[in-house]
Structure 1
Amino acid sequence: MAYTIGIDARKLHDFGIGTYVRNLVYHLAAIDAENRYVLFTGPQRKDALRDLPENFRILTESSPVYSVRELVALSWKLFRLDLDLYHATHYVLPAVSPCRVVVTIHDIIHLLYPEYLPNRLAFFYAQRMIRRSLARSDRVITVSRNTKSDLTRYFDV
């Protein structure tokens, strides 16, 4: 049975998260011809994902990142697409999800070093979104033991 899996690829050109997303997509493309993938990209990002097999579809999401509009627009798309699984490659999840959710958390640097954030609102947003993603995700992937340890310590999970 083939599944339809959505992957948030909007941070494709970021350094750490972008490298993770590119490697994830290209390795899945190399090994999985059965499942269908929907890649959510930003408007200028579409051309970066060339030569993907037919079971990959690219969908543009133009909502500003870290916005209420982003949370609502992603939710709407998840409902419309009837996905089996959504992989949030960053700690921001849609407002609601009709499918199972996996989140990858790369670090909690926003919370450990708030003095480098533009304002206190950014700190509270990151704190709330990370806590929310931990509570609402069916599975959490951390990219290192250190991140897992930070999450355990900071959020008591």
Structure 2
Amino acid sequence: MKIGLNLLYLRPGIVGGTEAYATGLIYELKKRLNSESLWLFINKETKEARLFTNLDIKTIVCPIPAKLRFIRYFYEQFILPLQIKTKKIDLLHSLGYIQPIFVSCKSVVTIHDLNYMNIGEYMSPLRRNILKYFITRSARRSDHIITVSNFSKNQIVKTLNIPPNKISVTYNSIKRRPDLTLEFDILAKEYNIKKPYIFALGSLSPHKNMERLVEAFLILKKGRKFKGQLVIAGHIPKMKDNVDSLIRIMGLKNDIVTTGYVSDLHISTLYKNAEIFVFPSLY
């Protein structure tokens, strides 16, 4: 059997948890399948990031950038199905919410959540409606759906009118790599981090709720006299002015570190040396 993985959505260092999901799945499938059974369909960004070049896996580089969503959607719906047919793929698994609506083989789609419904105010109306269109049709046209929690499953059932027996819940895994750490002094120098610190992992996108975390940190500094820093690691989008302005207005520029995207090695080290980890995400 030939299994194809649709990774056209993947923007290394930007999509966050869905990148970790894809990477973990690919490494585990690689252990269980021979080199002829697994095929990756990747975009230009994934090729340039050399994410999977150390694996002996058949890879088709699709000449499109994921950041140009309309081009990606067009390619995914009209060109990818032709490639699937040409390569005689038996099962296509689309890992990023959307699959080709018309495809010649069995198909599975991973719908991590319905964030476009629950935090739609943070998206443009056009993007929200496009996601609604493609995700709804992907859910209905696929042979099976995978999601990451019972909460998401229930939302998919109720919102998209999908039978519960068509959906499987597979919880996100963790990387068991106790050896994957760096000397803290190296990291401290690179990002200007000092102990003690509170660690948060997530992008500065509005639904990650980092503004409220900054406000809570100010209360901790002034009310509880906390002497340490707040370290936020994760993608910094272009529209990040609210968090930056808040940090500046509150006079916390020297107390809050935003690192941007960091590698697994750095994340592991930040976890290990933190006083506490906080996860304030709204969704």
Normalising by the residue count of structure 1, what TM-score does the alignment of the two structures yield?
0.88
Q: Which protein has the larger Cα radius of gyration, Structure 1 or Structure 2?
A: 2
- The answer as to 2:3 corresponding to 1:5 is yes
Could you tell me how far apart the structure 2 residues matched to 1:132 and 1:44 are?
26
Aligned partner (choices 93, 97, 103) of residue 103 of structure 2 = 97
Cα offset for 1:137? 0.5
Residue number in structure 1 paired with 2:80: 74
Match in the other structure for 1:85: 91
The 1-side partners of 2:27 and 2:11 are apart by 12
| Percent of aligned pairs sharing the same letter | 26
| Partner SS, residue 98 of structure 1 | coil
The answer to whether residue 140 in structure 2 is matched with residue 135 in structure 1 is yes
Alpha-carbon deviation of 1:57?
0.6
RMSD over equivalenced CA pairs, Å:
1.7
Secondary structure of the residue that 1:140 maps to in structure 2? Answer: strand
The residue type equivalent to 2:80 in the other structure is L
Give the stretch that moved more between structures: 38-47 or 138-147: 38-47
Tell me, yes or no, if the aligned pair for 1:131 and 1:155 is still in contact at 8 Å: yes
Output the CA distance in 2 between the equivalents of 1:113 and 1:102: 25
Report matched runs for 1:30-109 at 5 Å. 30-33=31-34, 36-46=37-47, 47-53=50-56, 56-63=57-64, 64-66=68-70, 67-109=73-115
Q: Please say if residues 79 and 98 of structure 1, whose CA atoms lie closer than 8 Å, have aligned partners that are also in contact.
A: yes
Query: For the structure 1 residues 131 and 44, does the alpha-carbon distance in structure 2 shift closer, same or farther, using more than 3 Å as the test?
Result: closer
Which region of structure 1 is more displaced relative to structure 2, 56-65 or 14-23?
56-65
Q: Which amino acid aligns with 1:98?
A: S
Confirm or deny: 8 A CA contact 2:5 2:41 kept in the other structure.
Answer: yes
Contact 2:100 2:138 in 1 (8 A): no
Amino acid at match of 2:113: D
1:69 CA drift (Å):
3.4
How many residues are aligned here? Answer: 152
Match of 1:124 in 2: 129
Instruction: Return the alpha-carbon distance in structure 2 between the equivalents of residues 147 and 24 of structure 1.
Output: 19
- Counterpart code for 2:53: R
